[in-house]
Structure 1
Amino acid sequence: MPLPTAEHHHIVFLQGSVLQIPQFDLPAPFTYSQTVYPWTSSAEIPDRVRDASIIILSAARVDAAVLSPDVTPHLKLIVMVASGFDCIDLEACRKRGIVVCNCPNSNIEAVSEHAIGMYFAARRKLLDMHLSTRAGKWKEKGSLMFEYLDKDGTPPLTCQDEVAGIIGNGSVGKRIAALARNLGMKVLISDRKASTTADSFRVPFDTVIRQSTVLFVAVPLMDSTRNFISTPEFEAMSSHAVIVNVSRGGTVDEEALVHALRERRISGAATDVFNGEPAGPDTSPLLAEDAKDLNIIATPHLAWLSQRTSVNYGSKLKIAVEAWAAGQPVNVVS
C-alpha cells in the first residue's frame, strides 16, 4: 500500500460495513488507494488511520490525540457520513488545516418518521401493551384498560388533541412539523432556547415548553444546546407531555428526565440518542434497572437507518471527496 503523497491519497473507511462505498473519480493528477474496515473500536482508531490522508467515518470519536501530527501525519480530509459532527475535535482540525465535511440532509425522511413512530409508542405505551399481552395479562385480568390511563385517570390523547412543539427548525424539524400537521396536531416551532421573539413561523422557546403535549427535539449538539432540556423545562411542561429526542445525546439532561418521569411530572419519553454511546444500563440512567418501570422508549441511534438514507450518504460522500480533491470542498464544517 503506497503512502500518501502530494498526488496520491490513501482513504481509510472506519465503518465500511454500514456504507455504500462509491468509486471515486478524482481529478488528474490525483490517484487513491483505500482500506475498508467493517467496524472500528475507539482503541483501534490510532493504528488504522496512521497512513490515511482521508478518513471516512459515521460513528467514531476522533479526538485531539488522534489528530496529533504524530498519529496522523498525512491527514488532510475527514468526511463524516452523517449530519452531526460533534464526535470530531474541530478545533484540533482547524489548527492543522484539516478539512472536515459532513453529509447533511441525507436522513431527513427516516429520522422524522422514526420520531413520529416513537411518539406513538410512548403516547400509547405500545411496547408495554405488547409485553403484557404476550405475557397473558389480558387473559388473566380480563381487561388492561385501566393500566394504560394517564396519571389523572384519563385516556391518552389523540393527534387532534396534541400540541406538537418542535425545538429546531432545520430540515428534520421542518419534516417532523409537516408530518405532525398532517396527523392533525397543532404545531409550535422554536429555533433554540435563546429564541424569545415570535414571528409568523416561530414562537418563544418557553411558550413551546409550556404549551406542548409532545415535544420533538431536533437540534445539533453544541455548547448552547447541551442539557438545554433539564429540570426547569420539565417542571414547566404539561403533565401530559411526551418528549421525543432524535437529535443528539447530551441535549436532554438524562438524570433530570428520569426524575421527571419518576415524579410523574410528564407522561413519557422516547429517545434514539444518549449522552454516552453505545449506551447500556451501566452508562445511562434511561436504561438503568430502576428505570424499567418508567414510560421510556429507547432505540440505539438508528433513526437514520433506511434504504433512502444509504443511497443519499453514498452520493454525498462521493461528492464530498471529489469536490475537495478538485479544490472546491462542499458541506465544510471546519
Structure 2
Amino acid sequence: MARTHHRIVALETFFCPLPKFDACFPASHTFEVKEYARTKVSEIPERIRDADILVMTVIPIRADVLSEAVSPNLKMIGVVASGTDSVDLEACKKRGIHVANTPHCNATAVAEHAIASYFTARRSITLTHSLARSGEWPKRGTLLKTMDGPNGKPPMTCGSETMGIMGYGAVGKKIESVAKALGMKVLISARKGAPAGKGRTDFNTVIRESSVIVMCLPRTPETLNMISEPELDAMPNYSVLVNVSRGGMVDEKALVAALRAKKIAGAATDVFLQEPAGPETSPLLALDTADLNLVTTPHVAWCAEDTTDNYNESLKKNVSSWLEGAPTNKVV
C-alpha cells in the first residue's frame, strides 16, 4: 500500500497540546510532527520551510511567509482558534492553501468568563479587594461607598439588568441563556450601522438602554473601534462594559477616559489591541486603578479542560476531512 507522508509543524503548543495524529488516520498516511511551545515571528520562515500542514493559533502568518520561496510545500493551515484574523487568507487563496478553523470549541468557557467578568465589575470585586489588601478599609472606616456607581447608587442585581449582547454566535447564545436564567432582560444587537432585523435591536438603542454590554464578536475592519468615545458617552452612567472578543474593538484610550470621568460604572476586558499586553503597550494596564472599577485578564477566557479536548477533536477532524477531500470548517 502506498503511503503519503505529511510533515506537520505546530508553532504554539503552549495554547493547546497536539493530538496523536498517527493514531487518528488510516495507515495510508504517516506523519512527522514538529512541535514548538512558542515561536517568534522571526523564527517562522525557518520552522515552516518543510511543512505541508501548519498548526497555529494567534501568531501572524502573513503573505511573506506564505510565499512559495519560504514555504514551498505548505498545503494546509489548521487554526486552533475561532478567529482567523492572524492568517493572510488572500495569500492562502492565491496559492490554494486550505485553511480550517476550530469554531465553537471554547464557547462555554468564554461565556462563563464573560459572566464572571460581569459579576466582578458589577460588584467591584477587584477594586474592593485591592483597597482591602492595601489597608484602606480601616483608614476609611468603610469601603461600602466604593461599590456605588457614578449615579450614586449601590450595584444593581441581575433582575434589574438589561444585557446587550454584541455578537450572536455560539458564545453570544450561551451568554444569552445564562443571562436570562439569572433574570436579566436581553437585547441582541444588530450590526453597527445596519437596520435591526428580526430578533435584533438597533445598535444605538442597545448602547443607550443596556446596563451591561458584552462583546463577543469577531474582529474585522468593520468592528475595529466599534465602541469609542461617542458610544461610551451614550451609555448609561450605571452601565458595565465586558469585552471577551478581540482587542481593538473597544478604543482603549476612550475607555480609560470614560472610567476616569466616571461616565460608566465599570469595565472588564480579556483582550487588548497589542498582545501580550503590558503597561508599555496598553493604557488600560498603565492605569493607576486605585479608585477605578476595571477588571483585566490576559486573554484567558477560552481556557478550560473541555476547550482543549474540543480543539483536539476539531483539529483531527479538520485534517482528516481535508485528507479525504471533504473538508470541514473551511475558511479558504
- Per the shorter chain, which TM-score range? over 0.9
Deviation of 1:28 (Å): 5.7
Deviation of 1:293 (Å): 4.5
TM-score (norm 2): 0.94
CA deviations on 1:42-86 (whole Å, 9 max, x unpaired) are: 222221111111111122111111112111111111011111111
TM-score (norm 1): 0.94
| In structure 2, distance between residues paired with 1:63 and 1:198 | 36
The answer on 1:207 being equivalent to 2:205 is yes
| In structure 2, distance between residues paired with 1:245 and 1:265 | 17
Whichever residue aligns with residue 322 of structure 1, its letter is S
| In structure 2, distance between residues paired with 1:291 and 1:149 | 16
After superposition, where does 1:208-247 map in structure 2 within 5 Å?
208-247=206-245
Aligned equivalent of 2:143: 144
Aligned equivalent of 1:254: 252
Aligned equivalent of 2:54: 55
Q: Kindly indicate whether the alpha-carbon contact (under 8 Å) linking 1:27 and 1:325 is maintained by their aligned counterparts in 2.
A: no
Deviation of 1:290 (Å): 5.0
Q: Kindly indicate whether the alpha-carbon contact (under 8 Å) linking 1:169 and 1:191 is maintained by their aligned counterparts in 2.
A: no
Deviation of 1:214 (Å): 0.3
Aligned equivalent of 1:268: 266
Question: Mean alpha-carbon deviation: is it higher for 240-249 or for 59-68?
Answer: 59-68
| RMSD over equivalenced CA pairs, Å | 1.6
Deviation of 1:198 (Å): 4.3
| In structure 1, distance between residues paired with 2:197 and 2:77 | 38
Give the number of aligned pairs: 328
Q: Kindly indicate whether the alpha-carbon contact (under 8 Å) linking 1:27 and 1:326 is maintained by their aligned counterparts in 2.
A: no
Q: Kindly indicate whether the alpha-carbon contact (under 8 Å) linking 2:216 and 2:245 is maintained by their aligned counterparts in 1.
A: yes
Unpaired runs of 5+ residues, structure 1, are: 1-5
The answer on 1:22 being equivalent to 2:25 is no
After superposition, where does 1:77-116 map in structure 2 within 5 Å?
77-116=76-115
The answer on 1:33 being equivalent to 2:21 is no
Question: Mean alpha-carbon deviation: is it higher for 55-64 or for 210-219?
Answer: 55-64
| In structure 1, distance between residues paired with 2:61 and 2:289 | 32
Q: Kindly indicate whether the alpha-carbon contact (under 8 Å) linking 1:14 and 1:40 is maintained by their aligned counterparts in 2.
A: yes
Aligned counterpart in structure 2 of residue 7 of structure 1, from 4, 7, 11: 4
Q: 1:294 to 1:66 in 2, by over 3 A?
A: farther
| SS, match of residue 109 in structure 2 | helix
